[in-house]
Amino acid sequence: MDGGSGLNILYIDTLDAMCIPRSELRLTGSPFHGVIPGAQAYPLRQIDLPVMFGSQANFRSEVLTFEVVDFPGSYHAILGRPCYARFMAIPNYTYLKLKMSGPNGVITMSRAFSHAFECDHEHYELATAVINSSELL
């Protein structure tokens, strides 16, 4: 999750892996900035998808709108502020936890620091490759 992002982003490879036909996509708005270093990003289209947090005993599910993009990313999707607002979720970046209310109490999502480090390292390498390739042009 990215509390600095005003969009929910889904990469086209993830959409294809989910076996969702591209005919489900609808037209989108304008380009956005800050996802690809130093460049505008143009979404292909948008899609509404259900997103669920929690376990079988205590879960929340909401439908989120995603901008579908066709450029490389180190994640499957990026959940931004629209996701926080819809789920009324509270992030704690220090402890890598996300909390929200559920029908049977608080839902807490967490991940290991080692996994976060791996994702950050992969994202750094991808961003460096994109910048280096644009400098060659």
Q: What are 105-114's pLDDT values in tens digits?
A: 999 988 766 7
State the CATH number of the domain containing residue 36. 2.40.70
The confidence score (pLDDT) of residue 71 equals 78
- Which domain, by its residues, includes 118? 9-136
Question: At a CB cut-off of 8 Å and minimum separation 6, what does 55 contact?
Answer: none
Whether residue 3 has pLDDT greater than 70:
no
Residue 3 lies in a domain: no
Whether residue 89 has pLDDT greater than 80:
yes
The confidence score (pLDDT) of residue 1 equals 61
Residue 16, number of CB atoms within 10 A of its CB: 11
Residue 4 lies in a domain: no
What is the tally of structural domains in the chain? 1
Residue 72 lies in a domain: yes
Q: For residue 28, which phi and psi values (nearest 5 degrees)?
A: -120, 180
Cα torsion 50, 53, 57, 58: sign = negative
Q: What are 32-80's pLDDT values in tens digits?
A: 766 666 667 778 899 999 999 999 999 999 999 999 988 777 778 888 8
* pTM of the complete model: 0.76
| Residue type (1 letter), 85 | A
